[in-house]
Chains A and B, each alone.
Chain A
Amino acid sequence: MEFKVKVYRFNPEFDDKPYYKDYVLEDFPGMTVLNALISIKSEIDGTLSFRRSCRSAICGSCAMKINGISKLACKTQVGPEIEKFGIIKIDPLSNMPIIRDLVVEQEGFFDKIKEIQPYLMGKSNVGEHADDFHALKEGEKITQPVFFKSEFRNLTGNNDTPNCILCECCYSECGGVTGNKDYLGPAALAKLYRYSEDPRDNDKNGTRLVNGSKPNRMWDCVHCQACEEFCPKGISPVKSIVKLHEKAIKNSINFSNGAKHIISIAKSIGETGGLDEIKVALDTGGITGLISDLPMAFGAGLKGKIPPIRLKLIKDMEDIRLAYKILDLEEK
């Protein structure tokens, strides 16, 4: 069967603006989008540039937008795409500058990975033998530090964050990054969570969570779930981010507006069952925050959306109190 591939092309040396170029190929059973790109490049048009390496969905090189969705070209089959869309339309990943054709600038993404301090911190508690490196002598045995499976929960499951291949699909689909280029994005934050969960980590002062609570980090997630939806490895960065939020609040790291916001919402609902928006705005951003929110509030007011000045207790307040009790939220 013949099918059409429509590829985004742009070379800043020669082109004023991007354009699409069409190629016609013959498919074969099991043909992947990467197979298609490789045959275009080797047989038809050597000027098409894209990254690729392992072709088995573990290196993360060939992430690109296929019919509008960020995917790995190597594990996306041509057949089902054609069935659904009638064409293979390929674009570079979003949220990153384009170098050329399907090749995007990744250095910024990796700089953000570095920002979250992706390594064990503090004096490592991996046992007395860890510093004692030597080749074994004849008949000598080594003893190893003991860590039980339960201590590595959240790190050894199939869908846990250590399986992330840094392919940038989540980053490309992330609404938070689209709105704020400085936001670290899902992959970096999931990695932050991964190290914060590591039983060998000895970050006694909570440096990692404090840093992670600064602007453009964990509290900038907009919870759109796109990272989970589009991860080719079945990982959910947003779940990790939510757990980071919980960890930060549990550890009383609540200097950030995000943490204050959540605490205030929880308090408001716990007290009245409703959302006291003015109070929440005041708790989150203080007076200056409240003032800076005024234009928006005024705009909302013009559309008839005026929050009540005083909230009435809702009639099912007992249920809420019960829920808070179960969730152990009364104190906080």
Chain B
Amino acid sequence: MLRHDVVIVGAGLAGLRTCVELRKKGIDAIIVSKVYPTRSHSGAAQGGVNAAFDENDSWESHFFDTVKGSDYLGDQDAIEILTSEASANILELQKMGVVFNRNAAGGIAQRPFGGQSFPRSCYYADAVGHMMLHGLFDNVLKYNTKILYEYFVTSLVVDDGKVSGIVAYDIKNGRFEGISAKAVLFATGGYGQVYSSNTNALINTGDGMAVSIKAGIPLMDMEFVQFHPTTLKSTGILVTEGARGEGAYLLNSLGVRFMSKYAPKTMELAPRDLVARAEQTEINEGRGVDGAILLDVRHLGKERIMEKLPQIMQLSIDFEGVNPIYEPIPIRPGAHYSMGGIKTDNNCRTIIRGFYSAGESACVSVHGANRLGGNSLLDTVVFGRRAGIDIAEYIKGAVYGKFDESILKRDEEIFENLKESSGKERHGLLKAELQEEMRADVGVFREEIAMKKAIEKIEGLKERAKNIGIDDKSKTFNTDIVEAFEFNNILLMAEVIARGAVSRKESRGAHYRTDFPERDDTNWLKHTLATLDDKGNIKFDFSNVSISKFEPKPRTY
């Protein structure tokens, strides 16, 4: 049994940012991550991180844009924090060693992004997530942080409403470890692997959210899944919104910039929910090109593409066989971001004392029903930092809780039984079935009958999952069993998403119901809270949205 004051699970941007905050104060905080930190999916973020720096821009404008972008479901007190702390956070990152491209005046260069009324996305070419992730990781090394590499979290240990630690599986050595802690932070990322066509890493399986809901912590607004408008047709790999920020066009099979029909004012730089739906409509109505839309950057010229979008150019060549300097890139919408997550307050606290969450795994909520591009990286650092500050205060008066070792034994048994199972189902194939079903029936456009079909499918998969067989009986780096566990996590996430989507009878942000195409503020201006009952069935409660400054208005672009 290990014992540390603070355990941070997940080593993407939010986890690392919290860690730096704690370690620079000399606090005994460790990182537990199922991959080496630099493998985290934050590194794949490409386009930018938002903050108002220009003298003609203001954080209040960023505040309003984010509220409007969220389709008024974002909590305004939280969004006020996000946007008023944005610039200071970016400067702090810069101080820590993160490099941003420069403008002519020697400030941080900024590009336009969807749904933002001013060019306020700070960037490092088209690899700003990579730059921030490595910069923060370097700082974690600076403060000599203990890292448990390749440990997979399986349970949260709670004692009388207070966190007392976690249980994790040491993948390399095939053994379970209990880690007793005064405070635990989950910065475990999203669940993009629920969908077949997605931009996410294979590791994004909603592990932290699954562990949390099983420990009795509500997940909020899980039905809101962002579909990114520009992902490579064949693989779903992300093509940054920064491409459109630099001036790229979206074309249909007739060569028409069809966004003029859907968002005449903002065109390609409308928010993601709107652009994704516009594309899907064009494809559904027969104006797609082999099931895709074309993203055209040719008019930007070779030099600008190579300077500002080098990664996109390389990805298009390597993964789609298309050189964007000479040909438009075939793209389509793909699952990208989880607006929902573990319900937290503005200091990242959950309903369990000492248990925190930040980043994509959390739902504060600053993104509401639709996140604006460039706000997720901002979310990770603003709230990662806040979590660190709050945890540092919290642990001063906290003591270690009672660590119920039967939870560790229970997890060991689950793994052991699963490993010994000789069932005929293969989790890799079940996962593919689940992902395809979710794409088809709980995707960009949703409708009751199709979603009920998806729920039926999920029920069937839950039964079949009991029959999963594991080929690998080894204790050494057994990824077969880890993947089986991850499959169970995405299966649970899929069910929460689908049931939440059925229950929300309106269209708002990324959640679009063809059978309820209007936003319904009278009945549905509220957060969905999902928990599990004693039998493991999902049940829903609702909570109010914080509206401090901006009354909901129709949302047009």
Contacts and interface: CB of A to CB of B under 8 A. Distances in A.
A59 B201 CA distance: 9
Interface stretch (B155-163, B209-217, B476-484): B476-484
A279 interface: no
Given A75-B319, A99-B172, A133-B88, A43 B39 contact: no
Interface in A113-130: 113-114, 117-120, 124, 126, 129-130
A58 B479 contact: no
A138 interface: yes
B95 A56 contact: no
A269 B91 CA distance: 49
Contacts of B426: 42-43, 46
Contacts of A158: 125, 306-307, 310
Interface in B117-154: 124-125, 127, 130-131, 134, 138-139, 141-142, 149
Nearest to B53: A144
Interface string B467-486: 00011101111111001000
B97 A198 contact: yes
Nearest to B199: A56
B36 A110 contact: yes
Contacts of A56: 44, 235, 237-238, 315, 319
B313 to A, nearest CB: 9
Interface in A53-91: 53-61, 75, 77
B477 A99 contact: yes
A175 interface: no
B87 interface: yes
A21 to B, nearest CB: 13
Interface residues of B, number: 77
A49 B477 contact: yes
Nearest to A133: B88
Interface string A135-175: 11111111011111100100110100011111000000000
Nearest to B481: A46
A146 B428 contact: no
Interface string B25-43: 0000000000110111101
Interface in B431-449: 431-432
A124 B24 CA distance: 15
A54 B201 contact: yes
Interface stretch (A10-18, A177-185, A236-244): A10-18
A147 B172 CA distance: 44
Contacts of A53: 35, 39-41, 201-203
A46 B427 CA distance: 10
A331 interface: no
A106 B315 CA distance: 26
A49 B475 CA distance: 12
Contacts of A57: 314-315, 318
Contacts of B81: 135
Contacts of B60: 138-139
B92 interface: yes
B429 A42 contact: yes
Given A53-B41, A118-B138, A148-B106, A58 B477 contact: no
B471 A47 contact: yes
A166 B38 contact: yes
Interface string B490-528: 000000000000000000000000000000000000000
Interface residues of A, number: 73
Nearest to B108: A144
Nearest to A155: B99
Q: Which of B53, B97, B234 has the most CB of A within 10 A?
A: B97
Given A43-B428, A58-B311, A119 B53 contact: no
A42 B138 CA distance: 35
Interface in A100-116: 100-101, 103, 106-107, 110, 113-114
A134 interface: yes
A135 B480 contact: no
B479 A49 contact: yes
A50 B44 contact: no
B480 A46 contact: yes
A4 interface: no
Contacts of A51: 35, 39
Contacts of B428: 38, 41-43, 46
Nearest to B307: A158
Nearest to A140: B59
Given A59-B43, A107-B149, A119-B97, A135 B201 contact: no
A149 B102 contact: yes
B477 A103 contact: yes
Interface of A: 11-14, 30, 38, 41-43, 45-47, 49-61, 75, 77, 99-101, 103, 106-107, 110, 113-114, 117-120, 124, 126, 129-130, 132-142, 144-149, 152, 155-156, 158, 162-166, 195, 198, 200
What are the nearest 3 A-B pairs in CB distance? A42-B428, A46-B471, A146-B106
Given A30-B320, A46-B426, A158-B307, 4 more contacts: A41-B480, A126-B94, A133-B88, A142-B88
5 contacts: A46-B428, A54-B39, A56-B235, A120-B95, A158-B125
